[in-house]
Amino acid sequence: MKTPVSERFVVPAVLAPALVCLAASCFAAEFADKPWPAPVPGFVPVQPGEHPRLIFRKADIPALRKKAETPDGKAILARLKAILGGGEAMPTVFSKEPPVNTGGRNIAYPPGAFTISHGAGFGMLYQLTGDRKYAKLSQQCVEKLFEGQVDTDTRYNLLTPGTGFRLGPVYQAIALAYDLCYEGWPADYRKGLVERLQTTKPKKVDKDQYFSLEDLAKAGGYPPGSNHYGSYILGPGMVALAFKGDPGADDKRLDAILATTEESLKRQLGGGFGDHGWFAEGTACGRISSNGILPFVESLKVAGGKDYISPRPAGRYTVLRLMHEIVRLDNRPEVPARGDYGNDVIWQWKHSISFEGDFPLGMGAVLPDEARAMAWIYDHFGEPGEKKNWDSDYPHQAIYAFVNWPEKTLEPDKVLPKVIVDDIHGYYVCRNRWQDQDDTVVTTLLKRGPAGYKSGRVQRGNIVWSYGRKMAFGSLSGKTTHFRAGADGSMELSDEKGESLVVDFSGTSGAPVLLAATGKITLPRGPKGKVDIAAAQVVNAGGEDLTVLTFSPPRGEKPPVRTDGTAVSVGKQTITVAAGKLSLGQFTEAQK
């Protein structure tokens, strides 16, 4: 049973009715009467030879130059220049390590060491200043890639990449440099670069395998639930959008590549990612693929007039899902991770193309108010305080930060629902607030839907983070038989096996957080952190064993748990049991 549409979301009352309907819809069938992508209102088609076009248009340049004079604009550009090694000359540090697929040496290069997107970074400085010296520096950096120079992460290079998905960001970086420096580069050089990139067939570093743009557009044959998929399609998509209509471009071929890449994008949004952002292979693998498709989605809107963002939530929630999960613990941002790669720490791997840039890339592929909410979350959970790196350790990440970072922030609970559901994969998230390290987030994965290569390593069950404490609390699986969302983030959830979970944030129980699940649950031992946690109590009601747990601030109330054999009462809250289904007596339902 799929979750009823009317019960999936808690939508803030301040949202317009049209947005309420949008946030409450999950399945492609529900959008059958709406175009996807939708045409961008007032879009002016890109003309041959018109640049920039990938992340902004020429008409946007005056506003961007004004932004460069704002405090945030200055700070982001200072970050970009630091990553470029000062921003006034070619970098002096280049990796001398050989290209690899896996097992490269982890070398801590100083800021400014050469990366695949140095050319794009200098191109952004050219756009903001009009000074051709930056275009010339960009050209020199791009030529380094054609000479075989590796990134500081030597899996990334143009001629012998580690895999096809390592090639996607290289093509993205070259396309950005070309787009930003079009008017600053000699005409014959531009034409030659277009011709070279269309005919170059990089070879996989450790295998006799060559990558054409067509191969990449088909994601190399990977299923859409693979972490490789998004970065595969990023490269040919950006190249086709950057080159179309220009001297040297094979427009017929590029049109076909772009069409294939868009079909691949649609396959992933619903066939790898679910309707609200859960990914078949888990948290970290989803970030790898999401950071591939997000800039492509933005460029399809800016350069192609195709809006994949607003008609359906699937693309936006590849990054917004993280915004619902994020909690600042141990002085760093974390999310409850499931899957093969990584752990709960968002920025576990620094100087990373795959595991950084979620904020600046994502802000260009969500709705404007959602981007403002993301900026608020970054300020409070990502990097609180004055000193920031803007989620950017690569020049291209800093470019997206500069272009996409909103000038004003918005409190998340004014735009983001407190309960989200990915029906395709059976992933549920409920949250009581966005405030500080004492926030409570409960995530549940019933684990259904499309699979990827590593899906078997994705952990099912309920994860609870509350007042700095992490724990598992029961498990659900299979089909959903009952679901109800509360306006305050509370939730009721039951499955076909008679397993059930309730989360109560109403305070009616006398505690800020009340949890109950069917069955006897043994909580893992570990530090209590700052929270007073009531010992889990197992009671019997309606013929079912229930485990009941409350969280309160230190020295907070610990309400008693009572049962009359048919229902459980905690303070003024009641929990009834019927055939494995738990229901809260005091419950303010979500707006329908």
528-582 per-position pLDDT tens digit: 555 566 778 899 998 889 999 998 887 777 889 999 988 999 999 999 998 879 9
Cα 382 from Cα 305, distance rounded (Å): 32
d(CA 188, CA 391): 36
Architecture of domain 28-34+57-412: Alpha/alpha barrel (1.50)
Question: How far lies 209's CA from each of 49, 163, 172, 335, 558, in Å?
Answer: 34, 9, 21, 37, 63
Question: Would you call 385 exposed, middle or buried from its count of C-beta atoms within 10 A (0-12, 13-18, 19+)?
Answer: exposed
Q: Is 152 exposed, middle or buried (0-12, 13-18, 19+ CB in 10 A)?
A: buried
Give the per-residue pLDDT at 7: 34
Dihedral sign (CA 283, 286, 288, 293): negative
DSSP conformational letter for 493: E
Residue 524: the pLDDT is 64
Q: Say what percent of the chain tops pLDDT 90.
A: 76
pLDDT of residue 453: 83
Q: Using 50, 70 and 90 to split pLDDT, how confident is the model at 29?
A: low
Task: Please write the tens of the pLDDT for every residue from 499-520.
Answer: 999 999 999 999 999 999 998 8
Cβ atoms of 319 and 294 within 8 Å: the answer is yes
Other CB atoms within a 10 A radius of the CB of residue 47 amount to 9
Instruction: Give start and end residues of each alpha helix (H) in 365-438.
Output: 368-377, 395-404
Residue 575 in tokens: 């929990």
Separation CA 204–CA 302 (nearest Å): 32
What local confidence, expressed as pLDDT, does residue 592 receive? Answer: 52
For residues 514 and 494, what is the distance between their CA atoms, to the nearest angstrom? 17
Distance CA 388, CA 76 (A): 9
Angle at 313 between CA 308 and CA 318, to 5 degrees: 90
Count of other CB atoms within 10 angstroms of residue 520: 11
Instruction: State how far the alpha carbon of 319 is from the alpha carbons of 266, 293, 536, in Å.
Output: 16, 10, 34
**Residue 195 pLDDT greater than 60, yes or no:** yes
Average pLDDT rounded to a whole number, residues 450-463: 86
**Cβ neighbours of residue 182 closer than 8 Å, sequence gap 6 or more:** 49, 51, 52, 190, 246
Query: At residue 5, does pLDDT exceed 50?
Result: no
The strand pairing partners of 327, in sequence order, are 334
The closest alpha carbon to 238, from 201, 210, 203, 197, belongs to 197
- Report the range of poorest mean pLDDT among 24-33, 96-105, 153-162, 433-442: 24-33
Q: Flag whether pLDDT at 586 surpasses 70.
A: yes
* 538: three-class secondary structure by DSSP: strand
End-to-end CA distance of the chain: 19
Preceding peptide of 48 cis, ω within 30°: no
- Confidence band (pLDDT; 50, 70, 90) for 525? low
Determine contact, residues 276/286, Cβ cutoff 8 Å.
Answer: no
Which pair of tokens denotes residue 586?
Answer: 């005091």
**If you average pLDDT over residues 76-92, what whole number do you get?**
98
CA nearest neighbour of 367 among 22, 53, 32, 17: 22
Confidence category of residue 587, pLDDT binned at 50, 70, 90: confident
* Mean pLDDT value of segment 130-140: 98
Q: Is residue 397 a contact partner of residue 403, using CB atoms and an 8 Å limit?
A: no
* pTM (predicted TM-score): 0.93
